[in-house]
């Protein structure tokens, strides 16, 4: 693969995968566009030196790339999850970029809650649940329904990254809190300090 014009990373898992690729050692000075501060910190920790932070969503990340890198400058390398929303690559491809998506990691949905998790949810031992994607929200809702938790979740607070993530919880009781911006710092700011 030719040296990329830029690297696109939307999660810390993408950084970890990228850091393990032998060819990526030669890319440490390549502009790396990270979708959020936590991902940017992870990139810096792994030795990437030209890390640029977008404010958390695919549109802002695509805009940041477009402002800094010309469409014909070379390929963009995107280490991504197997199951992902296609917005980032689609937005950049529509602007004339050559986006090389490399399936770098995957998250498997558990067939059921672990017994300890189910028991904690059943007995009110869980105050809050953090959900970063629509896929995980859908999975949580499916597992909760399969475990017959129903009204047992009425006291749970769900802290979610975006309105899209919140939509995955529509069938569950409980209170949904949506981050003001789709980034980890805004999500963490929703969580009240311990009493």
Delimit the domains of the chain by residue range. 6-105, 115-189
Q: Please tell me what DSSP assigns to residue 144.
A: H
Sheet holding 6-9, edge to edge: 51-54, 32-35, 6-9, 76-81, 99-105
CATH of domain 6-105: 3.40.50.10090
| C-alpha radius of gyration, the chain, whole number | 19
pLDDT of residue 33: 93
User: Residue 1 above 80 pLDDT?
Assistant: no
How far from each other are the two terminal CA atoms of the chain, in whole angstroms?
Answer: 53
Closest of 90, 97, 39 to residue 68, by C-alpha: 97
Q: What is the pLDDT of residues 90-123, one digit of tens each?
A: 889 899 999 988 888 777 888 999 999 999 999 9
Residue with tokens 């770098």, as numbered in its chain:
104
pLDDT, tens only, 47-60:
999 999 886 667 78
Q: How confident is the model at residue 90, as a pLDDT?
A: 85
Indicate if the pLDDT at residue 35 is higher than 70. yes
pLDDT > 80? residue 174: yes
Mean pLDDT of 25-39: 90
Provide, rounded to the nearest whole percent, the portion of the chain with pLDDT above 90: 52
User: How confident is the model over 172-193, as a mean pLDDT?
Assistant: 88
What pLDDT does residue 57 have?
66
């Amino acid at each position: 693969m030719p040296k990329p014009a830029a690297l696109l990373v939307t999660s810390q898992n993408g950084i970890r995968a990228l850091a393990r690729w032998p060819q990526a050692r030669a890319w440490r000075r390549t502009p790396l566009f990270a979708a959020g501060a936590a991902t940017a910190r992870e990139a810096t920790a792994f030795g990437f030196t030209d890390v640029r932070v977008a404010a958390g969503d695919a549109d802002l990340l695509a805009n940041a790339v477009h402002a800094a890198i010309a469409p014909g400058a070379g390929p963009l390398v995107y280490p991504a999850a197997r199951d992902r929303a296609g917005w980032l690559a689609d937005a950049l491809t529509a602007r004339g970029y050559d986006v090389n998506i490399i399936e770098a990691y995957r998250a498997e949905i558990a067939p059921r809650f672990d017994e300890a998790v189910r028991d904690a949810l059943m007995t009110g031992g869980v105050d809050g649940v953090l959900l970063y994607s629509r896929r995980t929200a859908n999975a949580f809702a499916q597992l909760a329904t399969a475990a017959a938790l129903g009204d047992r979740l009425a006291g749970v607070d769900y802290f979610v990254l975006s309105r899209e993530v919140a939509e995955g919880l529509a069938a569950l009781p409980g209170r949904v809190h949506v981050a003001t911006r789709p980034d980890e710092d805004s999500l963490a700011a929703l969580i009240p300090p311990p009493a």
